Structure 1
């Protein structure tokens, strides 16, 4: 039996602008979202990910610290640029950091790239879980994902990496669809003759 509501969600899902996300996200909703997000393909059952929650006043503190880091790295910021950085984590009521943590897994190790795919799947699942609970989300990385000092500011360990920061809240905004690739251009049929 088909699930028409799920098909409709998958066919129309769009990420709203982060600044459009508002309201509150309850502790119960967060726990449900994260529980569902963690139900991903995970070769070897390694759980190569963890979550960091940025909410409440700590969102503003994170932004202030990121602005200082960017200024330290790149030089003085204009007032507008500083404000943009200071608001990075406070535009939505909740930001979930999905942090990739590679696992050492024995004599026949699961490749690190495969583990990272697992963490990426967590981000996508989190968007779906948020939608199922009546919220919307936007998955980004941004400059601070690739800056070791910025990652440390955000509570991410030296050996860890960012799979994504998922901004979550409520919005009534309808986001127009964007151009999508022609699916026929993305499909080939395997033939053993191609290897001859």
Structure 2
């Protein structure tokens, strides 16, 4: 790879930032761009070719229906502050032009050789590649879970069984401003050497 090209890619990786879903606007990716983003997601370590990742693309109407369900769950649950949270969760799934739901569909045929944890890690890498590919195409994205990922009513509503693991809601759209950098650890704080 040419030095200039590798420097561009390295700069891209060193400067990638998530943008809050609430700050993502139109346009979102076209159907072709979304296919490219998901295809890039597939290019991850995948021991035994398990392909454990699944993607549900949620349409604008689907986002509205999901928001309605979330607001109804909040309304009947005493743990939430009512009015403000009802509105917040109604709007949450609709906050970006594109919403992907990533789930784990483990290959159970050879768990002694390829344990679930390896398949979960592959799904995590899949989600990261979705973020990187979105960024590479000029979009911004945010990967979230929050309580809906663990809620049985939400899973049933989306057509999943109780055992399905939702690993992320990925919001993709266009940011109108550059994301602010946040404090991060530096490499020397997490590296140790073994001789």
Same fold, judged at TM 0.5 (above): yes
What TM-score comes out, normalization by structure 2 length? 0.91
- Any idea what SS the aligned residue of 1:115 has? helix
Q: CA RMSD in A?
A: 1.7
Unaligned runs of 5+ in 2: none
What is residue 123 of structure 1 aligned with on the other side?
A: 127
Mapping of residues 114-153 of structure 1, within 5 Å: 114-153=118-157
- Map 1:98-177 → 2, pairs under 5 A: 98-106=102-110, 108-177=112-181
Cα distance in 2 for residues equivalent to 1:178 and 1:30: 28
CA contact (8 A) 1:102 1:160 kept: no
Q: Which residue of 2 aligns with 1:19?
A: 22
Structure with greater helix percent: 2
Q: Distance in 2 between matches of 1:88 and 1:144?
A: 11
Give the whole-Å Cα distance in 1 for the aligned partners of 2:9 and 2:139: 15
Taking the TM superposition and a 5 Å limit, the aligned residue runs for 1:1-196 are: 1-2=2-3, 3-24=6-27, 25-74=29-78, 78-106=82-110, 108-191=112-195
Gaps of 5+ in 1: 192-196
Task: Tell me how far 1:14 sits from its aligned partner.
Answer: 0.9
The aligned length equals: 191
Distance in 2 (alpha carbons) for counterparts of 1:107 and 1:129: 30
4+ runs deviating over 6 angstroms: none
Displacement, 1:151?
A: 2.0
Q: TM-score, normalised by structure 1?
A: 0.90
